[in-house]
Amino acid sequence: MTTTDAHSRIEETVKANDVVLYMKGTKTMPQCGFSSRVAGVLNYMGVEYADVNVLADETIRQGIKDYSDWPTIPQLYVKGEFVGGCDIITEMTLSGELDQLFEKEGVAYDKDAAEKIREANG
């Protein structure tokens, strides 16, 4: 697969799904702590999302970094837009910004679960 093919596949995936997480491992079997944290937040909040295991495809693993111009995995996309990696998603979850983004973009999530995360980390 060429870089162009990887870019096309990534673009198709982020446009075809409201929420996409490029991660190491899968949403049920994360293979790094950062991926696990972001998947854990999304799973706990009941967000429907596509997970893409970058460990399964070296071209996608490098391609996603080029696509977003972001050097690390995981990477979260909402409605085709790059939102951030683990630190950004963690901060956005704790500040309520992630809730606001989901509401603005019409992404369903469990508001009570989001509040519980904030209470537990407050």
At residue 118's C-alpha, the angle toward residues 51 and 70, to 5°, is: 40
Check whether the bond before 74 is cis (ω within 30° of 0).
yes
CATH number, domain 3-121: 3.40.30.10
Name 70's bridge partners.
Answer: none
Pick left, alpha or beta for residue 42 (phi over 0 → left; psi -120 to 50 → alpha; otherwise beta): alpha
What residues in the chain have per-residue pLDDT under 50? Answer: none
The helix or strand, by DSSP H or E, that contains position 13, with its residue range, turns out to be helix 3-16
Per residue in 43-77, pLDDT (tens digit) is 999 999 999 999 999 999 999 999 999 999 999 99
Question: Which residues, other chains included, contact 43 with Cβ-Cβ below 8 Å and sequence gap of 6+?
Answer: 27
- Domain ranges in the chain are 3-121
Torsion of CA 68, 70, 76, 80, to 10 degrees: -10
Is 32 marked within a binding site?
A: yes
Question: Looking at residue 17, what is its pLDDT?
Answer: 98
Question: Looking at residue 25, what is its pLDDT?
Answer: 98
